[in-house]
Chains A and B, each alone.
Chain A
Amino acid sequence: MDDTAAIARAELTACLHRITTGDHAALEMLYRRTCAKLFGICKRILDDHEAAEDVLQEVYVIVWRKAAQFDPAQGVSPITWLAVIARNRALDRARAQPRRFAPLEAAAEIPDRAVPADDVLAAAAQGSALARCLDALDARAASAIRQAFFGGSTYQTLAASAGMPLATMKSLIRRALLQLRSCLGHD
């Protein structure tokens, strides 16, 4: 982790700590620093701009109420913690309204590795480990996992978009997940 990432991490951790005391200015600072990152995630998962805005607001209301649940001792960076909440809320919303997932064609246009932003999740040591472990996988499995992570994929759609039989896709992914697990080391 370089200095910029370490400073960003310390600042966001301090914001979350201040939010637990009801410090509204800390919420605003956290929002200004992270909203583009989290809105990008919501927009990528949800097709509907308005739904993405609603989910973004919901995420920060959750953070406002539950900042105390963030525990830096667990080795999670603040931006990862926030991004996981945003992804889960966006997926919940998309599942409640099945046609609200962003179309897969749109997802396919986005390059596998986007230009790093200020608070890249990959800045954590975990990010580079994941990239290394994904590179070691069967390329079709790695690409399917990247695609599936943004939601709306089933084994059927993954098999169809890769042009392979369903059973082959299932065993490919399961094998890749086990391989990933041993590469990343699950605690």
Chain B
Amino acid sequence: MAAFAGEYVLGLLDDQALADAAALRATDGRFDAAVATWERQLAPLLDDAAPVMPPPRVWERLRVATLPTIRRPRSWRRAFGGFAALAAVAAGVVLLAPWRPAPPRTLAQLTLPGRGMFTVAQVAYGTLVTPRAVQLPAGKTAELWLITPGHAPVALGLLDPAHSRTLASLANAGGAELAVSLEPPGGSPTGLPTGPVVAESIIAKL
């Protein structure tokens, strides 16, 4: 079993054996412990990866994603939520609905006047940006920015006028602002918007 746990941690198993190992982990505490031990004991091999400084935008996004004031519901909302649940139970509402993935919830709509729009929606695996009939001026790309008061805009990536793309979740960024600027191919060369801002929207609080 120790060798199997080691093969699992090294990622050497084929699909079938990988599924077996995952099932074993969930049901056999000793196997799960053997996996954790291998992970811990082999971890010094990670020193072989040379440190690389991430670009500043990662901290900016992380800061927004973990802002305590945005993360925690206000107490009155919590209290009201509790009251509403109690009222629902009192009214005899049956809350046993079959589970299904949460439907997409719209976070923002970025309208480019006369050039279509991008919708920004929260889906199960992150935040999805979808173009609707977007037409960009020739030789320009659309770049998405996150703007929070007191901080420089954070680049969230280039938006394809024809395909949707997934971003790291913006679900906790309610109240902050999104903006789209027109940039040269490859995006802003400076890390800040250089072209005209063609669309703006406040992110809805979920």
Q: Chain A: residues with CB nearer than 8 A to chain B?
A: 22, 24, 27-28, 31, 35-37, 39-41, 43-44, 50, 53-54, 56-58, 60-61, 64, 76, 80, 83-84, 87-88, 91, 110-117, 120-122, 124, 126-127, 130-131, 145-146, 148-155, 158, 173-174, 177-178, 180-181, 184, 186-187
Task: Kindly state whether residue B12 has any CB partner on chain A within 8 Å.
Answer: yes
Q: Which residues of B contact A174 (CB under 8 A)?
A: 3, 7
Determine if A87 and B52 form an interchain contact, defined as CB atoms under 8 angstroms apart: no
Binds A, one of B56-64, B94-102, B192-200: B56-64
Determine if A39 and B54 form an interchain contact, defined as CB atoms under 8 angstroms apart: yes
Determine if B50 and A124 form an interchain contact, defined as CB atoms under 8 angstroms apart: no
Q: Which residues of B contact A151 (CB under 8 A)?
A: 11
Task: Kindly state whether residue B134 has any CB partner on chain A within 8 Å.
Answer: no
Binds A, one of B38-46, B109-117, B140-148, B175-183: B38-46
Determine if B47 and A116 form an interchain contact, defined as CB atoms under 8 angstroms apart: yes
Determine if A22 and B47 form an interchain contact, defined as CB atoms under 8 angstroms apart: no
Q: Which residues of B contact A91 (CB under 8 A)?
A: 11
Q: Which residues of B contact A24 (CB under 8 A)?
A: 66-68
* Alpha-carbon gap, A186 to B57, bound state (A): 41
Knowing A24-B67, A177-B6 touch, does A120 contact B47 (C-beta < 8 A)?
yes
User: Is the contact region of chain B dominated by helix, strand, or loop, or is it mixed?
Assistant: helix
Knowing A24-B67, A130-B44 touch, does A117 contact B2 (C-beta < 8 A)?
no
Determine if B2 and A178 form an interchain contact, defined as CB atoms under 8 angstroms apart: yes
User: Is the contact region of chain A dominated by helix, strand, or loop, or is it mixed?
Assistant: helix
Nearest CB of chain B from residue A134's CB, rounded to whole Å? 8
Determine if A148 and B11 form an interchain contact, defined as CB atoms under 8 angstroms apart: yes
Chain A residue with the shortest CB-CB distance to B54: A39
Across the interface, A121 reaches (CB within 8 A) one of B11, B34, B44, B68, namely B44
* Alpha-carbon gap, A120 to B45, bound state (A): 10
Interface hits, B2-61 → A, CB 8 Å = 2-3, 6-7, 10-12, 14, 34, 37, 39-55, 57-59, 61
Determine if A22 and B54 form an interchain contact, defined as CB atoms under 8 angstroms apart: no
Chain B residue with the shortest CB-CB distance to A86: B46
Determine if B2 and A57 form an interchain contact, defined as CB atoms under 8 angstroms apart: no
Determine if A178 and B51 form an interchain contact, defined as CB atoms under 8 angstroms apart: no
* Alpha-carbon gap, A56 to B54, bound state (A): 9
Q: Which residues of B contact A110 (CB under 8 A)?
A: 48-50
* Alpha-carbon gap, A43 to B53, bound state (A): 10
Task: Kindly state whether residue B174 has any CB partner on chain A within 8 Å.
Answer: no
